[in-house]
Amino acid sequence: MEHVRSYYLASNKGSKGGGGVSISPHFALQSALMELSDANVEMEAMRLRTTHIDDILARTQEDAFAYTSVAAAAPTTSSPP
């Protein structure tokens, strides 16, 4: 999609008169919709990454708590008198 959008913007396809600097309203709207779609995809990917990182952090904290509990409950070895 990015290639199609750049092609129309660079080649100025759809402009009236051929020498103008504007693109047709149809392609301008299509480009805006593609930008919104790209933003939605990026936002969803960011949300999924954040959720994944939160899950990893929670597991790490649980592991640290379990390790601390086991270490605290383990008998300490002291040298014989």
Residue ranges covered by each domain of the chain:
38-70
Residue the block writes with tokens 């100025």? 12
Find out whether 34 and 40 touch, Cβ atoms under 8 Å: no
Q: Letter for the amino acid at 21?
A: V
**pLDDT: which is higher, 73 or 4:** 73
Find out whether 23 and 15 touch, Cβ atoms under 8 Å: yes
**pLDDT: which is higher, 58 or 6:** 58
- Both tokens of 47, joined, read 């949300």
> How high is the pLDDT of residue 30?
87
Q: What is the pLDDT of residues 45-74, one digit of tens each?
A: 999 999 999 999 999 999 999 999 998 888
pTM for this model (two decimals): 0.47
Cα dihedral: 31, 36, 39, 41 (round 10)? -100
Q: What is the pLDDT of residues 7-39, one digit of tens each?
A: 656 655 555 555 556 678 888 888 888 989 999
- Dist. CA 76–CA 37, nearest whole Å: 60
